[in-house]
Structure 1
Amino acid sequence: MLDIIKKASLSAVGSTNPVTVLYGTVTNTHPLEVNVDQRFSLTEDFLVVGESLTEYKRNIAGEEVVIRRGLQTGDTVVLLRYQGGQTYLVLDRLVKPS
């Protein structure tokens, strides 16, 4: 009976925290792979990347110009883990203040 109560209380606590914030480092771009806290790696099958982190180029006056660079090896990123832990949103790239 005590075990059932413990499991129920842990489940209730887990449901109040629907996302977890993690930090990772891009270790590969094609295919995308992110190492999280030097503990485990996530492949692109588990990652969702927003448009703001994808490369965007335009032809301007006959020259290709990078408007927005995509993720690159070595980038530090902020990840949000959805409840259940199967999907991670790559929220943003971290930059060092200059």
Structure 2
Amino acid sequence: MSLLNIIKTAGAGAVDASNPVAMLFAEVTQTNPLELNVDQRFTLTEEFLIIPESLTRYELDLRHKHDAPGGPTQNALPQKIVIREGLKSGDCVLLLRVQGGNSFVIIDKVVKG
């Protein structure tokens, strides 16, 4: 490797070290499998994403029946209860690019106000 290439490589490493994190905005374009469009420039698929539990769908099944004294059995809570919706198409999310750019952490949904 020539001295010029060594200097270029060292310079590029110094620039990356001084800017180790990049914050980006993305829009959810597809949920199954998850796909994000980043700043209308490129698309990220699920394999490049680190998704926190707080952004995944969570539902509880609390269906049960009540025996009414002298009356018929009644269904209570006939459907599952959704605690967290998870990501949906059209959601805007905030991303952090992990140094090296091979993976992205979804920080949270961005609320448009």
TM-score normalised per structure 1? 0.89
Partner of 2:49: 47
Measured against aligned partners, the alpha-carbon deviations of 1:49-97 in whole angstroms (never above 9, x if no partner) come to 0001001111345341111110000000001110111101111100122
Alignment-mate amino acid for residue 93 of structure 2:
V
Would you say 1:96 and 2:112 are equivalent positions? yes
Secondary structure of 1:34's match?
strand
Partner of 1:69: 85
Bigger radius of gyration, 1 or 2? 2
Instruction: Report % sequence identity.
Output: 53
Q: Choose which of 22, 25, 38 in structure 2 pairs with 1:23.
A: 25
For 1:3 and 1:64, how far apart are their aligned partners in 2? 61
Unaligned runs of 5+ in 1: none
For 1:10 and 1:91, how far apart are their aligned partners in 2? 27
Partner of 2:12: 10
Secondary structure of 1:14's match?
helix
Alignment-mate amino acid for residue 13 of structure 2:
S
Partner of 2:65: none
For 1:2 and 1:42, how far apart are their aligned partners in 2? 35
Partner of 2:58: 56
Which contiguous aligned blocks of 4+ residues in structure 1 show a shift greater than 4 angstroms? Answer: none
More deviation in 9-18 or 39-48?
9-18
Partner of 2:96: 80
TM-score normalised per structure 2? 0.78
Q: CA deviation at 1:2?
A: 4.2
Aligned CA RMSD, in angstroms, stands at: 1.5
